[in-house]
Structure 1
């Protein structure tokens, strides 16, 4: 098998790492199937790594070093690549950054703030600053830029996952932004909904006790892997893949969806709220 062309050292760390893996594999004369023999991974997974689109799990890095005789190179650099892929995001959010790009569907419930995938720059900036009041402006802007970049999932040229989000009514009734900026935030949700990129639902604050009152969760379903749950608090997050817990969370999410307003009624409520903020009105309660 012909050896691949020289690697451009100016590319991103994950891309360099992936190209190096492919280069070494081809230099050893191994097809993808031959390379993966003895591992638990498939060709698509390996292809994504070689193109810099997926992180290298530690066990596969160790497998590569053994198979290619690379003296621990891939294991040693595995964490460097993971950090590079993470960018400005927290370490505990790393799995989500990768998983959401490969998800077939994403279902999210946010009782406390509008989820990152839907945030405008003004909203994201306010959220980051509220959590890190002493951080530098440069650090905050790096976080905001990283958060906004996640919304590329909704661009026309992306194989968009089906995204369903349930929000509590207080998120649109009790603004954390000036009226004009809050109108823009709600307009963003409306715009995505009308482009059929997202399906929003609202849990009215008059509904009383309801499922998942004490948790914000993200449910990600994949075409080639088991579903994954992500739960988050102010300064920590956790991914859950235990089948029994995943099943319990998904049942709770379905029950929550049942008490929420319909997508049509929810979108109408968001539009009304946006218009009122735009006109400088802000009521204590949006009916």
Structure 2
């Protein structure tokens, strides 16, 4: 019988506690060294508070473990994502520029927990609550790239129909999501453009895609479908996606008009 694998996050918490105990530090003493309260240290070790890069960076410094715990956090974030999606995460994390076209949903990097939870439940009604929450946590963890010290430029084109899904009892969730979208778009490196419904036929009708440009200047893409997704790195395929991106971006509304339309859509639901 095969042994059940321990989630990376649980492994991190176990090792944090073990190293603290081996160093003969109480939670209060360790908290003073790391500039956290004893209750915070306890909550992290018990799994009552999510792990984050700041907390683990201080642990690495105190225990002289290099970048070990911070690196393990990246693995923990991958645990919650489907295997087919993990190759794209590496490109996303090192991106200097991100371009996203989404005809049906709010892009994952701009989703609220409640919206993500509704989408993930709707996509597969056989998922357990634990599986859904694991996927939601992983998606929220991905969003840290947009709030880090040197975030990538993120430009999203979203079809208007994706902003008007207020039916089936999700009015509050959708309103909260659109307000969050407006708040995120206030950041100088985040740009949201709406592709209005009256555009008709356009280059993005074949489906959503994302493009990532690394610091070295190379682009890679990601395509998602009903059964999973795939990373696109062949030169001719990437060039085709860049061409599609230019086409959908050109028919989308400018920043200001896009945000005005989002405000108009959400206003009756506030």
Same fold at TM > 0.5 = yes
Aligned to 1:172: 163
Match 1:127 to one of 94, 119, 134: 119
Aligned to 2:92: 100
Say which one has the larger Rg: 1
Aligned to 1:277: 269
Does the C-alpha gap of structure 1 residues 82 and 189 become closer, same or farther in structure 2, counting only changes over 3 Å? closer
Residue ranges of structure 2 left out of the alignment (5+ in a row)? 1-10, 14-65
CA shift digits 1:123-179 (9 cap, x unpaired): 101111012202211111111111111111122x43110000000000112335622
* Pair 1:244 & 2:236 matched: yes
Distance 2:74 2:111 in 1: 25
2:80 and 2:134 in contact (8 A); partners too:
yes
Aligned to 2:227: 235
* Pair 1:144 & 2:101 matched: no
* Pair 1:257 & 2:249 matched: yes
Runs of 4+ displaced beyond 3 Å: 50-55, 81-85
Does the C-alpha gap of structure 1 residues 85 and 138 become closer, same or farther in structure 2, counting only changes over 3 Å? closer
Residue ranges of structure 1 left out of the alignment (5+ in a row)? 1-9, 13-49, 56-80, 279-287
Question: How far has the Cα of 1:101 moved from its partner?
Answer: 1.4
1:152 and 1:158 in contact (8 A); partners too:
no
Aligned to 1:181: 173
CA shift digits 1:75-110 (9 cap, x unpaired): xxxxxx997562110111112212111101000000
1:168 and 1:205 in contact (8 A); partners too:
yes
Distance 1:83 1:154 in 2: 19
User: Which has the larger displacement, 104-113 or 92-101?
Assistant: 92-101
1:206 counterpart SS class? helix
* Pair 1:161 & 2:152 matched: yes
Aligned to 1:200: 192
1:174 counterpart SS class? coil
The TM-score, its normalising length taken from structure 2, stands at: 0.71
Aligned to 1:90: 82
2:197 counterpart SS class? coil
The TM-score, its normalising length taken from structure 1, stands at: 0.67
